[in-house]
């Protein structure tokens, strides 16, 4: 089991159903982005600045993991998600998403590697979104495995919104591959010579949260809108999620992006926010520390600096509650821990790792 943290916040918070506190597990991380729990009780944390760190026995080890793939830290890009292979206990394999630069521009890449001690070995690039672009935003990068062992990879529109409607462009969509990097069997565009065989969905702006429903196995995502229009969606093969042809948001300038919120052939979000909360990270609660939260969906918020609890009944949001509104930190990632606690990462030059546990 994961060890107790080194220090504990004195403050407690109350929600409509629980009283809880935050245990501070680690401090001083440079824009922590993602968290993965190892079978031996350690935890891996990515720093967007390009480091993979280890938390062991409640302590952040000073030496980063060595052997990372070549990456670029620029704007919103850097080292992004870390995800363990479903058979990590047998093969020590993990996956990293990150921004990469070449003379042709920047893009989102995914590499697989083996974790041996404090070093990655056998690093292999298994996915690269094309074409590249000169922009430094909307890399997306969230990943998840489904029950069949397929890997889902979110790629943002790179701030060039029309790319999201072009199925011949890897940007602005979700891609599904095997752990070896091949297009997953049954992908929806395999017969389309203009589309990448890895493409699974399109019309996605910038997915920053991805998780698996604990009962149905469906992949749930959320993505940033512009000024308003943040969305929660359930991924379905071949679906067009509409960006930028339909949106509940407006441009940062205040001008409309589209006059439509609905069009035939384009999916409606399960839930949306207006104004934008800038969601990031999401997890279903499946632990026993808060039995009253079983099955609830938790979403972090960067702009609004809070944690949102959504009660889900029959695939629909029936209740929404804002938590940690006075914490004053941008919540980047939300993870369901093997210890039954919710784990949070906060996005800052000196970000924190927290465990949410009952106050008693």
> Could you report the per-residue pLDDT of 114-162, keeping only the tens digit for each?
999 999 999 999 999 999 999 999 999 999 999 999 999 999 999 999 9
CB of 286 within 8 A of CB of 214? yes
Three-class DSSP category at 219: strand
Instruction: Identify the CA nearest to 139 among candidates 100, 113, 178, 103.
Output: 100
> Could you report the per-residue pLDDT of 2-23, keeping only the tens digit for each?
644 544 456 899 988 899 999 9
85, 100, 138, 224: the catalytic one is: 138
Predicted confidence (pLDDT) at residue 112 exceeds the cutoff of 90: yes
pTM, to two decimals: 0.97
Q: Return the CATH superfamily for domain 29-294.
A: TolB, C-terminal domain (2.120.10.30)
Cβ atoms within 10 A of the Cβ of 350, count?
11
Per DSSP, 183 falls in state B
Q: Using CA atoms, how far apart are residues 274 and 312, in angstroms rounded to an integer?
A: 19
Q: Using CA atoms, how far apart are residues 272 and 99, in angstroms rounded to an integer?
A: 28
- 222 catalytic per annotation: no
Q: For the chain, what are the domain ranges?
A: 29-294
Q: What is the dihedral of CA 86, 92, 95, 96, to 10 degrees?
A: 140
The mean of the pLDDT values for the chain is 96
> Could you report the per-residue pLDDT of 268-313, keeping only the tens digit for each?
999 999 999 999 999 999 999 999 999 999 999 999 999 999 999 9
């Amino acid at each position: 089991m994961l060890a107790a943290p080194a220090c504990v916040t004195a403050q407690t918070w109350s929600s409509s159903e629980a009283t809880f506190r935050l245990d501070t597990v680690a401090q001083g991380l440079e824009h922590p982005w993602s968290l993965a729990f190892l079978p031996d009780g350690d935890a891996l944390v990515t720093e967007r600045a390009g480091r993979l760190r280890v938390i062991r026995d409640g302590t952040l080890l000073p030496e980063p993991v060595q052997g990372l793939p070549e990456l670029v830290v620029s704007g919103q890009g850097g080292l992004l998600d870390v995800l363990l292979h479903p058979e990590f206990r047998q093969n020590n394999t993990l996956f990293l998403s990150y921004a990469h630069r070449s003379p042709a521009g920047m893009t989102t890449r995914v590499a697989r590697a083996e974790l041996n001690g404090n070093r990655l070995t056998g690093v292999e690039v298994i996915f690269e979104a094309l074409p590249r672009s000169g922009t430094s935003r909307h890399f997306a990068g969230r990943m998840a495995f489904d029950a069949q062992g397929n890997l889902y990879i979110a790629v943002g529109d790179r701030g060039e919104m029309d790319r999201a409607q072009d199925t011949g462009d890897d940007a602005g969509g979700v891609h599904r591959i095997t752990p070896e990097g091949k297009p997953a069997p049954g992908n929806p565009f395999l017969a389309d010579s203009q589309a990448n065989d890895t493409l699974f969905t399109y019309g996605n702006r910038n997915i920053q949260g991805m998780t698996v429903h604990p009962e149905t196995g469906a992949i749930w995502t959320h993505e940033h809108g512009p000024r308003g229009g943040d969305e929660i969606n359930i991924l379905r093969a071949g679906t067009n999620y509409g960006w930028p042809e339909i949106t509940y948001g407006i441009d940062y300038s205040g001008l409309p992006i589209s006059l439509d919120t609905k069009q035939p052939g384009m999916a409606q979000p399960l839930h949306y926010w207006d104004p934008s909360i800038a969601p990031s990270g999401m997890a279903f609660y499946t632990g026993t520390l808060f039995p009253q939260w079983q099955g609830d969906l938790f979403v972090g918020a960067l702009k609004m600096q809070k944690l949102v609890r959504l009660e889900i009944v029959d695939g629909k949001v029936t209740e929404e509650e804002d938590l940690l509104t006075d914490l004053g930190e941008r919540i980047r990632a939300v993870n369901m821990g093997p210890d039954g606690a919710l784990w949070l990462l906060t996005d800052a030059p000196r970000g924190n790792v927290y465990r949410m546990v009952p106050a008693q």
